[in-house]
Amino acid sequence: MQSFQNAPPARTACIFHFLRFMAKNTKVKPKTTGVAPEKAAQNADSNWRPWVLAGIAFVLFCTGLSNGLLGIDDHQATVDNPAVRNLDLGSFNLGMYAPVTWLGYALAYTLGAENPFWYHLLSALVHAANVWLAYHLLLRLGIRNNLAFTVTLLFAVHPIQVESVAWIAGFSTPLFSMFCLLSALFYLRHNEMEAGSIRHYGLSLLFFIAACLAKSTAVMLPLLLLVLEIYWKKPALESRKRWLGYTPYFIIALVFGLFTFYTRSAAGVEVGEATNTFSALERVLLVCYSPLLYWSKLLLPTSLSIYYSFDKVNGSLPLIYYAAPFLLAGVAYAAWHFRQKAPYLLQGLLFYGANIVFALPFYSVGSFELCADHYNYLAVIGIFYILVSGWEAAQQALPSFSGGVQWLGRIWLAALLVLSLLQIRLWKDTITIVSNAIEKGYHQNGKMYQARAIAYANDRKDLPSAMRDFDKALEINPKLADSYKFRGSLYGVTKQYAKSVADMNKYLELKPDDFEQYYNRGLSLLNLNRMQEAIADFTKTLEADPNFARAYRARGNAYKAIGETAKGEADLAEWERRTGGGQ
C-alpha cells in the first residue's frame, strides 16, 4: 500500500466550507425575540449540535483511512474507469452513467492516483456532511432538538452505514444522499411559504438532478417529498401549486429510471443465474422479507456481510419467507391503527419505505444485488426515528423503570459504536471482508471464493490458497468463467501447461470473444510443443487486434520452431518494428 500524503487543509475542509455557505438557506435559524428562555436555549443548541455529530461521524470513519482498494468493484469504479482516469464524462461504466460520482473519484485520483487514502477521506467527509444535513432536515420537520440529535447520532455511527462509507465503490450512495438531503431541505423551505420561492424550488430541482447523476437510486426522492408533506409537516404552499410543482420531479425520476434500465440491460452485466430463478410468488416473498431482514440487522447488527443471499432449501424458500407478508402486514396495520397515539410509527415507516422501495428485489437488473446494507443508508433515518421515539415513550409510560430504559438505550448505542469500529476494520482488504461473508454462509454462488482467490494470488502471492478457492468456486458454480481464466493463468505460471490449456478451453467456450486469452492459451500450447495449435491461437489474437505486438513475437518463434523460417522472421521483424525490441 502506498504511503499516505498529508491532506492540505483547504481540500479536506472543502465540504464543510460548502455547508457553511449552504447553511444560510437550509438550517433552521434561531429566533430569540419573544421566545421563552427554554426555547431560545434549544435554538442555540441547534447551532453546535450538527457540527458535533458531523465530527463524530468523521472521526469514526477516519479509523478506516488506512484501508485498501478492494478487489470487489473498487478498481473498476475508480482507477480502471476511463471516466476517472481521463475525465471522460460521456462514457459508461458497468452500464451506469454517474458523472457526478466520477467527478468525486477524479478528485481523489488527481490527489493520489491509486492511493486509497484520498477515496476514503472523501467518503468520510461526504458522510459527515450528510449527518449535518440530516440533523437540519429533522429540525425543519419540527422534530425536537434532543430527539433529532439522537436519531442523527444513530444515522452517523450505526454499523449498517459502514458498507456505504468504508467501501470505495459504495461512494455513490452517500454522495447521491447528500444531494437528496439538500434537495429536500430547499423544497421544504419553498413549501413553507404561501406563495412559494422560485429560488429555493429551483435549487431543489438542481440538487435532485445532481443526485440522479450521482446514482439513479435518487429517483425515490419525489416519493420521499410526498411522504414528508402529507405525514410529517403540513405545507403552507397553496395546494394547486404544490401538485404542479411535483410534475418536474416525477418526469426527471421517470427519465432517469428508464434510462438506467436501458443502459444496464444494454451493458449485458447480469446478476447471475441464481437470482433469476425465482417465481412471481417468490419475488413477492423476497420483497416482503427484505425489510424484516434489514430491521433485524438494525436492531442487532452482529452479522453484517458484503453479500446476502436468498437460499432455497430443497427447492423452496424457508417458512419465514412465507410468514413475511403477514408479519409486514401486521406492522403496517399497527402503524395505521396507532397513527393518532403514536404517529411516529407511521411517519418512520413511510420515510423508510419511500427511500428503499426501488431497492427491493422486485426485479434483477444489471449487477445489482437483491439485498445489501447500502440500500438502507438514507432510509434508516425513519427506523431510528421510530426507535428513539419509542424509547422516549417507554420512559414516560414506565416512570418507575425509566432509569433502566435509559441505560438500556445507552448500552445499545455504545455497543453500536464498538461494532462499527470492528466493521470498518473488516473492510481493510478483500480477503478479510470476503472471508467474513463466507464465514457467515454467503458465497454468492461461488463468486466470493473467486474474489478471495484473486486476492490471494494478486495481493498476498499465496498461490496454494488461491488454487483452493478457485477449485471451491468452480465446484459450486462450474459456469464461473473468470475462475477458469485466472486458474488457467496460475497453472501457466506454475508450469502446469496441460491444466492451463484445459482451463483456457473452458473459459473460451464461455467467453469466445476475449481474444487476449487466445494468446495466453497459445503460450501454454507453445510450451507443450503443440505448435500448430499455438499458431492458430496467436493468429486469432492478431486478427482481432493487429496491434497486439507480443503475439507477433510468439507466433514468429512458433513458425521458426516448425521450420517455417520466412514466416517466423517476418513476424519477428514486425514485432521489432512495433516495439523496438523492448517488449
- pLDDT digit string, tens, across residues 404-448: 999 999 999 999 999 999 999 999 999 999 999 999 988 888 989
Q: Are residues 287 and 260 in the same domain?
A: yes
Q: Are residues 445 and 515 in the same domain?
A: yes
Q: Are residues 115 and 131 in the same domain?
A: yes
- Where is pLDDT greater, at 191 or 176? 176
- Where is pLDDT greater, at 28 or 78? 78
- Where is pLDDT greater, at 9 or 51? 51
Answer yes or no: is 157 within a domain: yes
Q: Are residues 190 and 100 in the same domain?
A: yes
Answer yes or no: is 566 within a domain: yes
Nearest to 568 by CA among 580, 581, 554: 554
- pLDDT digit string, tens, across residues 253-276: 999 988 887 777 666 555 444 556
Q: Are residues 175 and 264 in the same domain?
A: yes
Q: Are residues 48 and 149 in the same domain?
A: yes
Radius of gyration of the chain measured on its C-alpha atoms: 28
Task: Output the pLDDT for position 25.
Answer: 54
Q: How far is 356 from 376, CA to CA, in rounded Å? A: 7
Report the pLDDT averaged over residues 535-559: 95
Q: Are residues 487 and 536 in the same domain?
A: yes
Residue 475's CB is within 10 A of a number of other CB atoms, namely 11
Global pTM reads: 0.86
Q: How far is 209 from 215, CA to CA, in rounded Å? A: 10
- pLDDT digit string, tens, across residues 354-409: 999 999 988 765 545 788 999 999 999 999 999 999 999 999 999 999 899 999 99
Distance of CA 3 to CAs 12, 66, 104, 213, 515, Å? 18, 9, 21, 32, 37
Q: How far is 282 from 269, CA to CA, in rounded Å? A: 23
Answer yes or no: is 31 within a domain: no
Answer yes or no: is 27 within a domain: no
Answer yes or no: is 16 within a domain: no
Q: How far is 62 from 541, CA to CA, in rounded Å? A: 46
Single residue among 431, 463, 482 that ends a domain in this structure = 431
Answer yes or no: is 521 within a domain: yes
Distance of CA 471 to CAs 449, 452, 475, 476, 567, Å? 9, 12, 6, 9, 40
Q: How far is 578 from 550, CA to CA, in rounded Å? A: 10
Residue 425's CB is within 10 A of a number of other CB atoms, namely 16
Answer yes or no: is 25 within a domain: no
- pLDDT digit string, tens, across residues 489-531: 999 999 999 999 999 999 999 999 999 999 999 999 999 999 9
Instruction: Please provide residue 563's backbone torsions phi and psi, each rounded to the nearest 5 degrees.
Output: 90, 5
- pLDDT digit string, tens, across residues 107-136: 999 999 899 999 999 999 999 999 999 999
Number of domains in the chain: 2
Distance of CA 12 to CAs 8, 157, 359, 416, 421, Å? 6, 21, 32, 27, 22
Please give, one letter per residue, the 3-state secondary structure of 240-303.
HHHHHHHHHHHHHHHHHHHHHHHHHHHHCCCCCHHHHCCCHHHHHHHHHHHHHHHHHHHHCCCC
Q: Are residues 422 and 508 in the same domain?
A: no
- Where is pLDDT greater, at 262 or 228? 228
User: Could you tell me if 26 and 182 are in contact, meaning their C-beta atoms sit under 8 angstroms apart?
Assistant: yes
Single residue among 431, 456, 479 that ends a domain in this structure = 431
Q: List 313's β-bridge partners, or say none.
A: 316
Place of cell 452517500: 174
Residue 138 pLDDT grade (very low, low, confident, very high; cuts 50, 70, 90): very high
Nearest to 320 by CA among 296, 352, 354, 355: 296
pLDDT at 575 over 80: yes
Q: Are residues 72 and 170 in the same domain?
A: yes
Q: Are residues 439 and 418 in the same domain?
A: no
Measured in whole angstroms, the distance separating CA 420 from the mean position of its chain's CA atoms is 17
Task: Output the pLDDT for position 237.
Answer: 83
Query: H helices of 96-194, where?
Result: 99-112, 116-140, 145-157, 162-166, 172-191
Averaged confidence pLDDT in the chain: 88
Structural domain that includes position 498: 433-579
Q: What region, left, alpha or beta, does residue 197 occupy, with left being phi > 0 and alpha being psi -120 to 50 degrees?
A: beta
Answer yes or no: is 411 within a domain: yes
Sequence-distant (6+) residues with CB within 8 A of 483 are: 446, 450, 453, 470, 473, 474
Q: How far is 255 from 275, CA to CA, in rounded Å? A: 26
CATH number of residue 559's parent domain: 1.25.40.10
Single residue among 411, 431, 451 that ends a domain in this structure = 431
Q: Are residues 338 and 448 in the same domain?
A: no
Task: Output the pLDDT for position 272.
Answer: 47
Task: Output the pLDDT for position 523.
Answer: 96
Q: Are residues 239 and 280 in the same domain?
A: yes
**DSSP state letter for 511:** -
State which of 29-43, 128-142, 185-199 shows the largest mean pLDDT. Answer: 128-142
Three-state SS at 194: coil
